Structure 1
Amino acid sequence: MRHTVALLTSTILLTGTPAAAHPAQAFPVAYWAMNEPPGATRMSDSSGNRLDGHIGDEVGTGVYVQGSSGYRFDRLQPDTPPARPGHLVVVPDAPGLNPGTRNFAVTIRLRTTNHFGNIIQKGQSTTGGGNFKLQIPNGRVQCSFRGDRGVLEADAPHAINDGDWHVVTCVRVGTGVALAIDGRRVAGRQGWTGAIGNSWPLTIGGKLDCDQVTVGCDYFAGDLDYVTVEVV
């Protein structure tokens, strides 16, 4: 699968140890294919771990574009009240969704012509226990992991808001954080974040705790084809 190729590539290039990325060591935590029909309210997890999510009433489902079916998140004006929780897909907290100290990867297939927004996250910048997120400021994907030993970010050098589909993988391992786009490593930072774990749900499409006044919701605008979470 394309997402597995991206994961293995980024892990190998970050650690320099291909054995650490052997396919036998990759375990699915969640796989959201996002193939639900129009009007669906439940995002199904096909990994077998039953990590289903609630689809907000402002999220378009059953959207077919460029040969793929997925979810559509319409553009909302940044930092303009009120908050729009219906713009989010929310997956309840579960132990497997916390990286802890494990090697941990998130992969998404997306397309957008916009240049801002948080795509996926668990926790926010002040959340106790740390957080992780993928966002797309200025059309350039950034992945971030914050643990009890610090924060590591990997920033894509080029924008991908060209309206085409792209596969993005963000991976945290014991030696750092790496970002791969379309199967090629494009950025990485060496270091160790420490453990990451919180009791927040995972959100797709923006922040959960925000009011668009003191805390912006950073709503994503674009299409998503699938999201996977894996440990390696």
Structure 2
Amino acid sequence: MRTRGRYAVAVTFSTAATLVATAAGAGAAVEAPAGHTVARYEMNEPAGARTMLDSSGHGLNGVVGSEVLTGVGVGGATGYRFTRLEPDTPPTHPRHLATVAGAPELNPGNRDFAVTVRLRTQYHFGNIVQKGQATVGGGNFKLQIPNGIVQCLFRGDRGSVIVSSRSRLNDGAWHTVRCERVESGLSLVVDGRTEARRSGRTGYIANSWPLSIGGKTSCDQENVGCDYYAGDLDYVQLETR
């Protein structure tokens, strides 16, 4: 969802170098000016929309599954609603997701990278946004909300680092969460307040998987849970610097 006059979901880099992958292949990068927006999903589409528009101008549009409710208005915002599904209970619900094809521009590479989301939920589980999964070659990143605590994880060829919010965010109010990966570690900012920092080098991250919003794309609800998110999203933004 997006409050009028606010940015939507975006990913950003926080250093002076921005990962801008070229058509040469996944993870290929050149440097770009600080504050470069890779993709921005405002989630303002009307009810029944099945295309998630990238307002950055880069054309990284996504597909909205038929189980995702669009055009939902809550507290002055218009966005997407992901209804609750029973955890680890078959069958799978691939139409519960919004996905963007695995464009190389969406890979962090070895540059600074940030993911920002605005969310509202009363539930205590689920993967909010991710690219890749735990066993994927090339690494992965994700925001998740186990026990109502938002966690951010980046895993690359040098290691894995995770940071967690100090308080539970499943109180039914809107919260803006930003996770930023730099060379030396991760930081997590909630509603403008830095809640966590952790040092550790994650290294290079580049995979061919889609950007997935609302859960995992590869799962069976038996051996691998789909971790479906339940709640509302106002926006998602990806940036580089």
TM-score for both structures, normalised by structure 2: 0.87
Q: More helix by proportion, 1 or 2?
A: 1
Q: Does 1:25 align with 2:34?
A: yes
Aligned-residue sequence identity (percent) comes to 60
Q: Which amino acid aligns with 1:89?
A: A
Q: Which amino acid aligns with 2:224?
A: V
- Aligned partners of 2:77, 2:63: CA distance in 1, in Å? 21
- Consecutive unaligned residues in structure 1, runs of 5 or more: 12-18
1:98 corresponding residue in structure 2: 107
- Consecutive unaligned residues in structure 2, runs of 5 or more: 18-32
Q: Is the 8 A contact 1:3 1:169 kept in 2?
A: no
Decide which of 117, 120, 126 is 2:126's aligned counterpart.
117
Q: Does 1:71 align with 2:80?
A: yes
Q: Does 1:61 align with 2:85?
A: no
Residue 208 of structure 1: how far off its partner (Å): 0.3
1:84 corresponding residue in structure 2: 93
Residue 203 of structure 1: how far off its partner (Å): 0.3
2:224 corresponding residue in structure 1: 215
Decide which of 182, 190, 201 is 1:173's aligned counterpart.
182
Please list the CA deviations of residues 90-145 of structure 1 after superposition, one character each: whole Å capped at 9, or x if unmatched: 10011110000110000000000000000000000000000000000000100000
Which consecutive segments of 4 or more residues in structure 1 shift more than 2 A? 1-4
Q: Does 1:183 align with 2:192?
A: yes
Please list the CA deviations of residues 143-177 of structure 1 after superposition, one character each: whole Å capped at 9, or x if unmatched: 00000000000111110111111100011001101
2:43 corresponding residue in structure 1: 34
Q: Which amino acid aligns with 1:87?
A: H
- Aligned partners of 1:185, 1:175: CA distance in 2, in Å? 16
- Aligned partners of 1:188, 1:99: CA distance in 2, in Å? 19
Q: Is the 8 A contact 1:121 1:133 kept in 2?
A: yes
- Aligned partners of 1:67, 1:141: CA distance in 2, in Å? 23
Q: Is the 8 A contact 2:126 2:228 kept in 1?
A: yes
Q: How many residues align?
A: 220
Q: Is the 8 A contact 2:7 2:42 kept in 1?
A: no
Q: Does 1:134 align with 2:143?
A: yes
Equivalent residue of 1:25, what SS? coil
Q: Which amino acid aligns with 1:132?
A: F
Residue 202 of structure 1: how far off its partner (Å): 0.6
- Aligned partners of 1:138, 1:179: CA distance in 2, in Å? 17
Distance 1:130 1:34, change over 3 A: same
Decide which of 224, 229, 232 is 2:238's aligned counterpart.
229
- Aligned partners of 1:84, 1:160: CA distance in 2, in Å? 25
Equivalent residue of 1:132, what SS? strand
Q: Which amino acid aligns with 1:144?
A: L
CA RMSD of aligned residues (A): 2.0
Distance 1:54 1:3, change over 3 A: closer
2:30 corresponding residue in structure 1: none
1:147 corresponding residue in structure 2: 156
Please list the CA deviations of residues 16-74 of structure 1 after superposition, one character each: whole Å capped at 9, or x if unmatched: xxx869xx611000000000000000000000110000000000000000110000000
